[in-house]
Amino acid sequence: MKTSNALVLILVLLSINASTEWPTHTVCKEDNLEIHYKSCDPQQDFAFSIDRCSDVATHTFNIRAAMVLRHSIKELYIKVDLIIGGKTVLSYSDTLCEPGHSQLIFCGKKKGEHLYYEGPVTLGIKEIPQGEYTVSARLTNEDHVTVACADFTVKNYLDYY
Amino acid sequence: MPGLLKMPRRAALLPWTFVGLLQLVLILLQLAGCLLSPCLEVIPSKAFRCMGLNISGVPPEVPNTTQELDLSFNNLKSLSSNYFSSVPELQFLDLSRCHIHTIEDNSFVDLHELSTLILTANSLQHLGSATFYGLTSLKKLVLVETGISSLADLPVGHLHTLQELNLGHNSIASLKLPKYFSNLTSLRHLSFFSNKITYISKGDLDALREANRLNLTLVLSLNNIKYIQPGSFAKIHLGELVLRSSFENFHDMHTSLHGLAGLQVNRLIVGEFRDSLKLEEFQNGLLSGLCQVQMQEFVLTCFRNFENDTDTLFNCIGNVSSIRLVNVELEEVSEVPMFPQVKHLECKRCKFKEVPAVKLSLFKELRVLRITQSKHLNSFRQKFKNLTYLEVIDLSENRLSFTSCCSPQFSGSANLRHLNLSFNSDISLTGDFTNVKNLLYLDLQHTKLDNHGTYPVFLSLQKLIYLDISYTKTHVKSDHIFHGLNSLQVLKMAGNSFENNKLSNNFKNLSHLQTLDISNCKLVQVDQSTFNALSELKELNISNNKLLTFDPVVYEPLQALTALDFSHNQLSVLLDSALEILPASLVYLDLSHNLFECSCSYLNFMKWITEKEDLLQNKHLMVCHTPAYMKNLSLSSFYLFSCRPNPGTVACSVVILLAALVFIFLIYKYYFQLYYLLVLLSGCKHSAERGATYDAFVIHSSKDQEWVIKELVEPLEGGKPPFQLCLYYRDFLPGVPIVTNIIQEGFLSSRNVIAVISTDFLESKWCSFEFDIAQSWQLVEDKAGIIMIVLEEVNKTLLRQKLGLSRYLRRNTYLEWKDKEISKHIFWRQLTGVLLQGKEWNHEEEKLM
């Protein structure tokens, strides 16, 4: 009887833990390309889509992303890691918003505001790599707090032209 | 019947299930408790964060002393009057996204101290006129994304202390400022970011006209302004006006800017955002409306597609004293108007491929010129001419690559004080600085300097105060490369290299130097005279080199030093002589990441480290390198654990010392016994070899000597047969310790021992010692018999105190001396008998008890 109690307890704890994980969303699901993402910010999930998945093969493609800001973004920094087989292969970081010189519309938005981005994303690399890998992106603000975080799982077997 | 049989089993199961369920409920309750956990106390009893706790009011656990309260992401729904009466000292209140739709009158009436109120992302449906009553100290009101559509109903007219009113992301269509704005005289920031303003008409801004608004920033970005009626901004004085992505197309922008006529503003920011480029391209005459605007500074951001050569960018801004072009895809400088008044010109992230020196030379009034972060800018072939007033040129963070720097490029700029060419590709210095010989600051860091280091290129820069050649791939070959820099106060040259990785006389003429950075220069050795001239040096960074020693002779001339960074070297210790020469003015000393040898032989150094708490930086990174088992142990803890005598060892040594003292005392006290023990252990053989010289050794007190001579010696030695007695006063050898005499002459040489027991015997220490020996002798050697003679006058109580003796007397027979003839006779007979028996003496004796 005691073991069954323990089992119940473990089950309950597991289900609680599982519930803090956000569901995996599908961005693209085509023959040669699959992109899924999952929020890794324990505080919230967010919405993300790519206008035309096949455009991923080109240098620039349009995305839409929406979320509610839990922190203000007077300054905004992005860090992207390319993870293949559990190892970080490439790391890229950039400043999206800097104080005094907001180049992007959403810079300076405040906590609680709705953030919606619709527009082009230009990759720093010529083409996205083929194969199966994870792209982990994290946005942080002036207080080094995570504003948004997502793990993208990509299965890419597109041909480039 | 089977059903009946099952019944008890089910009954037994039920309580268990119940218990299980109860536990589940308890767990869930606990979890719920966690979810509804109390607010985070950011500053004890002052600041609380109750973000996203799904609460519906001010939590009761928030004390009334709270000054900052974050209630964002909760479910407050509506605020009733006196809603915040429990927290009257609030200064900061964040109600972002709290699903508030109704704020009743007097909701904030208790918050007299409140200076910041954030209501972001609540769809406020109706705000009564008394909504913000009581907020007498309010400075910042954020009403972003609150669904406000009209300024007329906004009940903020009484907030006289208001400095910032943020109305971004609403649906305000008209900029018609109600009259109450003229009361908001403290207002500094008024934002209509991302609203629905389409027309600005004459009279809309009248409320701003009356008072002096030179501190006010008005933000109208991300609206869709189609038309600004001329005269709308006439006679209005503003601190800053921001119009980014405010216009849909060239036409709207062109005509609207004309509507700014009459405006007087310190800074006007016009342009777009990088991700919202509505205007296709910059066309001629776009800014022509700005001719009617009086401004100090003009900022143009995020513009692309300039029609080169024919555009008229500067046409109406030539008289502005400061122009900043940020993220403007300008490939060449536009037509420059006659007699421009621009004093400060900056192009950041522009698209120049070449430094447009010829055209920029037309800005005769230029004082400051900055062209930075332009990744296409790599050529510097054109030359600046006669910019007489130019003081500052900043060409940093481009990709410039050019030769023969730096005189030909700046002819006629005799006032140039500040030249920044840092973070470019590569530049070669010729040593010709004749046109810019008045330079005070020269920054060349992170730009490769070709072939630098062989000859004194800075010879003509006699006035230079600041020189940065860090990470320029300079390889110092000559001792003279800094010749001529007689005024230099700051020299930064980290990340370069010196011939043979050795510092020699390179700094001998830099006698005014105050800061020197030679970190990361692969240095292995420093010559003794290197710093001789640097008596004014205050800061020295020599970190990240490979120096093994801190030679006091080298550093002694640096008597004005306040900061020394010696980290990341290979020092093993600072010797006493080095510690002594450290100047008293030193307040910053970094010795971290050196290869310290942890040894208590450097006790002074270790002790010094623990004492200089304030002076030493990164103390926790000063760790042992050797010995291997001490690796990464911090020096101060090494000192505490290994070198400083710890209480344990102190206690230990005290105990040992005490023990030694006690031991010595015991030896002193029991000297005889110990000596005897020694003799016992070593002298047994002696006794066997040595024949018995005497018949008896007489133990007696010196006070009984008379009796002994008269009653023992005379009858026994003179009688028949004659006995030979051993008497201490007669037979002991002079010059030998008494104890030796007692043992050697007395016991070892005698067959028997005669003890004369008297009161004096009992009192004498020698006697009791001799008696003790006699007893043990008897036991060990089984040879000497003890003949006890008790004199009659012995005090019985005293005898009893001598435990050993009285016990001996009780267990053995003894002779008793009585001063009567008959007794004497018996005494003599008995004594002679015993002595005669000699060797075959047995225990048969007459009992007299």
Q: Structural domain tally of chain A?
A: 1
Angle at CA of residue B817, ends B815 and B819, nearest 5°: 155
Asked whether residue B357 is assigned to any structural domain, the reply reads no
Asked whether residue B786 falls in the same domain as residue B710, the answer is: yes
For the ranges B102-111, B325-334, B565-574, the lowest mean pLDDT is seen at B325-334
Higher-pLDDT residue of B209 and B202 is B202
DSSP string, B117-133: EE-TT----EE-TTTTT
| Whether B145 and A111 lie within 8 Å, measured CB to CB | no
Task: Name the amino acid, one letter, at B400.
Answer: L
Asked whether residue B708 falls in the same domain as residue B833, the answer is: yes
Mean pLDDT of B700-721: 80
Torsion, Cα of B389, B395, B400, B405 (10° steps): 40
Asked whether residue B697 falls in the same domain as residue B811, the answer is: yes
Asked whether residue B465 is assigned to any structural domain, the reply reads no
For the ranges B18-22, B145-149, B407-411, B738-742, the lowest mean pLDDT is seen at B18-22
Asked whether residue B696 falls in the same domain as residue B763, the answer is: yes
pLDDT exceeds cutoff 50 at B35? no
What pLDDT digit, counting tens, does each position of B365-392 carry?
A: 999 999 999 999 999 999 999 999 999 9
| Whether B222 and A105 lie within 8 Å, measured CB to CB | yes
Per-residue confidence band for B636, with pLDDT thresholds at 50, 70 and 90: confident
B304 with B329: CB under 8 angstroms? yes
Q: CB contact, 8 Å: A7 with chain B? A: no
Asked whether residue B828 falls in the same domain as residue B724, the answer is: yes
What pLDDT digit, counting tens, does each position of B505-541 carry?
A: 889 889 999 999 999 999 999 999 999 999 999 999 9
What pLDDT digit, counting tens, does each position of B309-343 carry?
A: 567 788 888 889 999 999 888 888 888 888 899 99
Mean pLDDT of B752-766: 80
Asked whether residue B834 falls in the same domain as residue B710, the answer is: yes
| Whether A70 and B121 lie within 8 Å, measured CB to CB | no
Q: Give A5 to chain B, closest Cα distance, Å.
A: 6
**Around B248, how many Cα atoms within 13 Å sit in the side-chain half-sphere?**
9
| Whether A110 and B72 lie within 8 Å, measured CB to CB | no
Give chain B positions within 8 Å (CB) of A16. 31
Task: Name the amino acid, one letter, at B477.
Answer: K
Asked whether residue B731 falls in the same domain as residue B674, the answer is: no
How do beta strands B497-498 and B126-127 pair? unpaired
- Res B390: pLDDT: 94
Mutate to test the interface with B, among A63, A76, A110 (most CBs of B within 10 A): A110
Q: Compute the distance between CA of residue B287 and CA of residue B308 in angstroms, rounded to an integer.
A: 16
Give chain A positions within 8 Å (CB) of B121. 68, 112-114
The strand ranges marked E within A1-145 are: 25-29, 33-39, 47-50, 60-68, 76-84, 87-97, 114-122, 131-141
- Res A124: pLDDT: 67
| Whether B23 and A117 lie within 8 Å, measured CB to CB | no
- Res B24: pLDDT: 53
| Whether B73 and A70 lie within 8 Å, measured CB to CB | yes
Angle at CA of residue A76, ends A70 and A78, nearest 5°: 105
Asked whether residue A70 is assigned to any structural domain, the reply reads yes
Asked whether residue B782 falls in the same domain as residue B733, the answer is: yes
Q: Domain limits at A126?
A: 23-156
Q: Compute the distance between CA of residue B93 and CA of residue B87 in angstroms, rounded to an integer.
A: 10
Mutate to test the interface with A, among B275, B276, B347 (most CBs of A within 10 A): B275
Q: Compute the distance between CA of residue B746 and CA of residue B731 in angstroms, rounded to an integer.
A: 9
- Res B722: pLDDT: 78
Q: Domain limits at B665?
A: 645-682
Compute the mean pLDDT over every residue in chain B, rounded to the nearest whole number: 85
- What percentage of chain B has pLDDT greater than the value 90? 48
Q: What is the ipTM of this complex?
A: 0.79
Q: Compute the distance between CA of residue B166 and CA of residue B120 in angstroms, rounded to an integer.
A: 10
Cβ neighbours of residue B79 under 8 Å, at least 6 residues apart?
A: B100, B102, B103, B104, B107, B108
Mean pLDDT of B794-801: 70
Mean pLDDT of A69-93: 90
Mean pLDDT of B355-360: 92
What pLDDT digit, counting tens, does each position of B161-200 carry?
A: 999 999 999 999 999 999 999 889 899 999 999 999 999 9
Give chain B positions within 8 Å (CB) of A112. 72-73, 96-97, 118, 120-121, 144-145
Q: Give B374 to chain A, closest Cα distance, Å.
A: 16
Phi-psi region of A131 (alpha: psi -120 to 50; beta: other; left: phi over 0): left
Of B682, B702, B735, which closes a domain?
A: B682
Per-residue confidence band for B16, with pLDDT thresholds at 50, 70 and 90: low
**From B120, B276, B302, residue closest to A111, measured CB to CB:** B120
Asked whether residue B762 falls in the same domain as residue B665, the answer is: no
Mean pLDDT of A92-98: 88
Q: Structural domain tally of chain B?
A: 2
Cis check: omega of the bond before B552, within 30 degrees of 0? no
Per-residue confidence band for B99, with pLDDT thresholds at 50, 70 and 90: very high
| Whether B145 and A113 lie within 8 Å, measured CB to CB | yes
Q: Give A125 to chain B, closest Cα distance, Å.
A: 17
Asked whether residue A17 is assigned to any structural domain, the reply reads no
Asked whether residue B716 is assigned to any structural domain, the reply reads yes
Number of Cβ within 10 Å of residue B718's Cβ equals 9
Per-residue confidence band for B7, with pLDDT thresholds at 50, 70 and 90: very low
Q: Compute the distance between CA of residue B306 and CA of residue B296 in angstroms, rounded to an integer.
A: 24
Nearest CA in chain A to B51: A70
Higher-pLDDT residue of B571 and B837 is B571
- Res B13: pLDDT: 45
- Res B17: pLDDT: 53
User: Comparing C-alpha atoms, which of A94, A93, A98 is closest to residue B348?
Assistant: A98
Q: CB contact, 8 Å: A18 with chain B? A: no
Asked whether residue A29 is assigned to any structural domain, the reply reads yes
Q: Give B538 to chain A, closest Cα distance, Å.
A: 34
Domain harbouring A123, CATH code: 2.60.40.770
Mean pLDDT of B211-217: 85
Asked whether residue A9 is assigned to any structural domain, the reply reads no
Number of Cβ within 10 Å of residue B492's Cβ equals 20
- β-bridge partners, B754: B698, B787
Mean pLDDT of A107-115: 89
Q: CB contact, 8 Å: A119 with chain B? A: yes
